Amino acid sequence: MPNFICNTCGTQYAESGEPPTTCTICQDERQYVKITGQQWTTLERLQLTNRNSIRFEGPGLIGIGIDPPFAIGQRALFLRTPQVNVLWECLPLLDEAVVLAIKALGGISAIAISHPHYYSSMNEWSRIFGGIPIYLHVADRQWVMRPDHAIVFWDGETHVLGSGLTLVRCGGHFDGGTVLHWAGEGGVLLTGDIIQVVADRKHVSFMYSYPNYVPLSASAVERIIRAVEPFEFDRVHGAFWDMVIERDGKAAIMRSAERYLNAIRG
């Protein structure tokens, strides 16, 4: 039986003979159902109409996307270090070419994902690379639509993936909202849209719902800042192509938080 994938958010579901009636992720107030109604595809169909794209993102980082864009349109990041190779975020699609390319670059040791909107086809990615672990924060367990033995639910405020690699729970967008800090290359923070790099690439923002324009509270933003403040980093890589702050990233986040808090407090 197929594993159906939601066309709007890209989440892959457990096997079923018929598509689910609704997408649990899209029914949540942080997402939406398109005016045309709920629509579904499968990995096999996606492989016929779309392909993975690869692009150098920065030292030690390779971006992986989908062309043409599909669902939310995020790109994943393949992070290579001497000790461990991590896929940060995930995608609904993986094709043969991207699998061969990643294997030629040393393969993936683990997958880590910021929040449920990017769980997508995480089990497919895990299995093709040998059943590697998928690290998700336990606070978001309820949003896993396709359970698998490879999923590792970590708890607490930080979790070390390897030398110089730390998952940091920020909350905010989701209770288990997570960023990944890499101590290499002068310090790098991979944020997904838990901390969203914005168009000027000099600031970030914070939202409970991006498509529905629901902001986070002051206390939620303050919690995010407390979570990342102990870590040193220069670059910040957001969820989408080209959304990168190349230098002084920590200062940009702190400055942006002050601007945000001033705005919502009037």
Encoded amino acid at 262, one letter: N
As for how many domains the chain has, the answer is 1
Dist CA 140 CA 63 (whole Å) = 25
pLDDT of residue 266: 84
State whether residue 191 is helix, strand or coil: strand
Closest to 40 measured CA to CA, from 82, 85, 2: 2
Whose structure tokens read 């169909």? 45
CATH of the domain at 239: 3.60.15.10
pLDDT of residue 80: 96
Closest to 189 measured CA to CA, from 242, 243, 248, 249: 249
Closest to 208 measured CA to CA, from 232, 246, 250, 174: 174
Dist CA 74 CA 78 (whole Å) = 13
182-222 pLDDT tens trace: 999 999 999 999 999 999 999 999 999 999 999 999 999 99
CB 181 within 8 A of CB 159: no
Dist CA 232 CA 239 (whole Å) = 20
Residues of the chain with pLDDT under 50: none
92-129 pLDDT tens trace: 999 999 999 999 999 999 999 999 999 999 999 999 99
Q: Which domain holds residue 159?
A: 4-265
pTM: 0.97
Dist CA 33 CA 186 (whole Å) = 41
Instruction: Outline where the chain has alpha helix (H).
Output: 24-27, 43-49, 96-104, 122-128, 218-228, 249-265
| Length in residues, the chain | 266
Q: Given CA atoms 235, 103, 132, 19 in this order, what sign does their dihedral have? A: positive
Element (H, E) at 166: strand 165-169
